Amino acid sequence: MKVVIISRYIYPAIAPRPMRATELAKEFARQGHDVRLYGIIGDYDYTNFEKKHKLKVKSLGNLLFHKGNSSKFASSNSILIRGFTKIFGKFLEFPDIELSPKVYKALKDEEGVDLLITVAIPYPLHWGAALYKSLNKNALNKTIWVADCGDPYMGNPLSQHPFYFKYVEKWFCRKADFITVPIEAAKKAYYPEFKNKIRVIPQGFNFDEINLKKLYQGNPCPTFIYAGVFYKEGRNPKPLLDFLSTLELEFKFIVYTKSIKIIEPYIEKLKNKLIVNPYVTRKELLEAMAKADFLLNLENKTNLQSPSKLIDYSLTGRPILSLNTNNELNTEIILQFLEGNYKQRLLINNIEQYNISNVVARFIELVIKQKNLILDS
C-alpha cells in the first residue's frame, strides 16, 4: 500500500502525537509499505532516518505564525504572535489553523494513496484533509482516510471551544472514513451520529527496540520518577509536593518535564530530594525509569483521556503509583510505596495490544474491510 501519515511534529520531537505518527510510519515501512511521513520538520537532516527505516519524510512547509518545528518544537513565539494567539486563538484556532492549507497542499502532491492517516492534535490537520476532499470531487475517493484523535475536541471537558466549531467537527467527521481514539471511554466525547466510524486503536511502540532487563539494582533510598507535563487542572503535582515536604524520611523524586513553573517553588524546599530534568530521548528515559523503585502517574481529571506514558511505564516492569490529585490526596498509598509496599500498584492489562506491529495490523484491517465494502456496493 501507499501510506501517507500527516502530523504537525514528527521525530525527533518528544511528545505523544509525534511519537504516534513516527512509530506508525516506521512500522508500516518495516512491513514493506510505501510510506510518506509529513510534518513541520525544521532543519533536521532526515537522510539517515529515511535510509534506516525505508520511508520518505516530507515537509509541510514553514509556518508563518508559529516558530515550533520537529527539531525545536518547544520554541517560543514572538510577543506579537503570542498577543494574536491570546486574542484570536480561542475563536479561530490560531495559530494552528495555518496547518489546514498546509495539509491541503500536501495532498495535492500525492497520488494513488491507499491509506491516509492524519494525526491530531491539533485538529486543523483533519480540517485540511476534509477541505481537500470537499473541494476536489474525486479526491481521495480510492483512499481510506483515518482521522486519528489523541484527545477529543468539542467533547473535551478540559478544553472548551466556541459553539460554531461543532459544525466544523461534524463536517470533518462526515468526510473521514474512520475516526480512531486511544481508549474505549473516549468514544463518548464524539457526536453520536459518527459512532459507527469510531474505532479504538491505542498508542503503539516497537517492543523489539526495548531491552530493560537487569537494569534495576535497587537504590540507597526510595527513588521514583514522573515523566511528562503538569497541569494546574488535571495533573497538578502541588498536593503531592506539599505532602512530600512534610516528610522527614529520605527519598529521591526525579522529574522529567517542561512544566518547570508549577514545581519551581519546591526545588529549594525539597533540595536534593527533588531532581528536575528536561526531556530526554525515549531510550534514555526508559533506561532511567527501569532503574527507579517505582514510577508515578498523575491521573487526568476526566476518564476520556489516558496518558500514553503508562505504556512505557509498564514496559519498564517497575511498579506504578497512580494518584488522583484532583480530589483528596491518598497519603496512605504514598507512604506504602515509600516503604516498598506495592500491593496497590496500577496494573496495565494486555500489554501486547500496544505492540506497534499489532497496532498497524488494526489500521490495515480497516483498509481491507472498507475496500471490500466498496467493491461489494
What is the pLDDT at residue 170? 97
Give the chain's end-to-end CA distance (angstroms, integer): 22
What is the pLDDT at residue 220? 96
Distance CA 6, CA 184 (A): 24
Q: What pLDDT, in 10s, does the model give residues 262-310?
A: 899 999 999 999 999 998 988 899 999 999 999 999 987 766 666 778 8
What is the pLDDT at residue 281? 87
**H/E stretch holding 169:** helix 165-175
What is the pLDDT at residue 134? 94
List residues bridging with 275 in a β-sheet.
254
Residues in the chain with pLDDT < 50? Answer: none
What is the pLDDT at residue 84? 64
What is the pLDDT at residue 77? 61
Residues of the chain with CATH 3.40.50.2000: 2-206+355-376, 208-351
What is the pLDDT at residue 375? 56
Query: Which superfamily, per CATH, for 2-206+355-376?
Result: Glycogen Phosphorylase B; (3.40.50.2000)
What is the pLDDT at residue 73? 59
Read off the pTM: 0.87
DSSP state of 374: H
Q: What pLDDT, in 10s, does the model give residues 210-263?
A: 888 789 999 999 999 999 888 877 788 999 999 999 999 999 999 999 888 889
**CA Rg value for the chain:** 22
Work out the burial of residue 147: count CB atoms within 10 Å of its CB; fewer than 13 is exposed, 13-18 middle, 19 or more buried: buried
User: How many residues comprise the chain?
Assistant: 377
What is the pLDDT at residue 75? 52
Angle at 20 between CA 108 and CA 347, to 5 degrees: 155
Query: Which superfamily, per CATH, for 208-351?
Result: Glycogen Phosphorylase B; (3.40.50.2000)
What is the pLDDT at residue 157? 80
